Amino acid sequence: MILRINNRSRYHLFQFMGWGLLALINIFFFITFDRLDFQHLRRLTITVLLGVSISHLMRFHVKRAGLLRQTQDRQIIGFVLITLFYALMWGVFESLVIHLFPVLKTYRRRSSFPEMAYRNVINSVGILFIWNSIYFVYHYINRSRAQELDTLRLQALVKELELKTIKSHINPHFIFNALNSIRALIDENPARARDAVTGLSKLLRSSMQSEHLETVSLEDELEIVRDYLALEHIRFEDRLRVEMHIDEATLDLRIPPMMLQTLVENAIKHGISRSVAGGDIDIISRLTDEGFEIIVRNSGTLTADAGHKGFGITSTENRLNLQFSGRAGFSIRNVEGGYVEARILLPLS
C-alpha cells in the first residue's frame, strides 16, 4: 500500500519535524552543560510554540501576497523583509511574555526589557532565516520540476501532433499518384484499370489499418509495398523491374508504417518514371553492426528536387527524427552504376 501525502499534510509534517529537531538540539545542549531543568524546558516550550505560530503566520502572509509567483528579485526582497519583520515580532513578543512572567527567565543576571528583546530578535532572525530558506528553496525546486514536466509534456504533445500531421499527408499524397495512374489506364485498357482499382482498394485497406500504429513489422510493410508495386506494374509493365533482398531475421522488426512504401514511391516518381526505358528498384533489409538497415536503390540520378524538396524524403527525415529522437539515421545519395540509394538505419532497441 502506497501512502500518498498531499501538500498540506507534507507542510505539517515538515513543521513537526523541523521544530521538533530544534527542541531536541536544545535539550541535547541542556544535558551537555548540565542545565536541564523545568525552567529551561518551560522557556523552550514557549520558544517552540511561538516559532510554530510565527512561521505559520509568515507562510500565510507569503501565500496571501503571492510572493512565490513573483520574479526572483522580488522574491529575494520579500524574503528579507518578511524575515526581518516576523523576527522583530517574535523577539518582542517573546520578551514581553518573559518580562510579564518572571518564572520563565533563565538568565543568571537581570536584563532590561530592551536588552532581552534585542537578544531574542537576533536569535529569531537566524531561526526564521533558516526556515524561510528551506521554504523558498523547496518551492523553487518544486516549481522547477513542475515546469520541466510541463515542458516534457508539451514536447511530447508537439511531437505527437507533428507525427499525426506527417501521417495525414502520406496517404493523400499516395492516393493522388495512384489515381493518376488509374486515370491513364481507363481509356487505354479498361480491364487493367479495373484491376488497378481492385489493387488500390486492397492497398488503401492495408494502409488504413496501419496508420493508427506507431510502428508495424517489416513483413506487414512489405505486403503494402508489394500491393503498391503490383499497381505500378500495371502502369509501367516491363519498364519496372524489382528485386527484393530481405533478411528473414528482419521480418519481425518494427518500422514506422508506410515509410518503406513512401521511399519506393519516391524512387518510382523521381527515378523510373523519368526514364523512357524505365529502370530497376532494389529493396534490401539486413542487420549490421550499426543496427537495422533498410535500403531502397533505384535507377537514376539524384537531383536537388528529388533529394531535398520531395515530400517523400522530407517526411521520412521528419518522422525518423521525431519518432526515434535522433537515434535513427537517414541518407540519400548517388552510387556507382547510375543508381540512387536511400538508406535508413534504425536502432535495435
Are 205 and 311 within one domain?
A: yes
Are 273 and 330 within one domain?
A: yes
DSSP 241-280: EEEEEE-GGGTT-EE-TTHHHHHHHHHHHHTGGG-TT-EE
Are 97 and 211 within one domain?
A: no
Is 76 part of a structural domain of the chain?
A: yes
Are 44 and 145 within one domain?
A: yes
Is 276 part of a structural domain of the chain?
A: yes
Whole-number pLDDT of residue 88: 92
Whole-number pLDDT of residue 159: 64
Name the domain boundary from 102, 128, 150: 150
User: Tell me: the pLDDT tens digits for 88-132?
Assistant: 998 888 888 877 776 566 544 456 778 888 888 898 898 999 998
CATH number of the domain to which 339 belongs: 3.30.565.10
Confidence of residue 70 (pLDDT cuts 50, 70, 90): confident
Is pLDDT above 60 for 170? Answer: no
Are 197 and 328 within one domain?
A: yes
Are 314 and 216 within one domain?
A: yes
Is pLDDT above 60 for 65? Answer: yes
Q: CA 86, 91, 97, 103: dihedral to nearest 10 degrees?
A: 150
- For the chain, percent of residues with pLDDT exceeding 90: 19
Are 133 and 276 within one domain?
A: no
Contact 237, 189 (CB under 8 A): no
Share the mean pLDDT of the chain. 82
Confidence of residue 158 (pLDDT cuts 50, 70, 90): low
DSSP 216-240: EEHHHHHHHHHHHHHHHHHHHGGGE
Average pLDDT (4-25) is 81
Confidence of residue 241 (pLDDT cuts 50, 70, 90): very high
Is 296 part of a structural domain of the chain?
A: yes
Q: Between these two residues, 133 and 313, which has the higher pLDDT value?
A: 133
Is 103 part of a structural domain of the chain?
A: yes
Confidence of residue 269 (pLDDT cuts 50, 70, 90): confident
Name the domain boundary from 119, 150, 181: 150
Q: Could you tell me if residue 89 is left (phi over 0), alpha (psi between -120 and 50 degrees) or otherwise beta?
A: alpha
Q: Could you tell me if residue 232 is left (phi over 0), alpha (psi between -120 and 50 degrees) or otherwise beta?
A: alpha
Average pLDDT (223-239) is 85
Domain that holds residue 80: 7-150
Confidence of residue 283 (pLDDT cuts 50, 70, 90): very high
Are 131 and 202 within one domain?
A: no
User: Tell me: the pLDDT tens digits for 19-57?
Assistant: 888 889 888 887 887 777 777 788 788 888 888 999 989
Is 168 part of a structural domain of the chain?
A: no
> Considering its fold, how many domains does the chain have in total?
2
Are 79 and 135 within one domain?
A: yes
Are 196 and 250 within one domain?
A: yes
Is 238 part of a structural domain of the chain?
A: yes
Average pLDDT (5-22) is 82
Percent helix, strand and coil across the chain, each to the nearest 5: 70, 10, 15
Lowest mean pLDDT segment, chosen from 68-77, 201-210, 243-252, 267-276:
201-210
Is pLDDT above 50 for 166? Answer: yes
Are 133 and 265 within one domain?
A: no
Average pLDDT (4-11) is 71
Name the domain boundary from 98, 132, 150: 150
Whole-number pLDDT of residue 313: 79
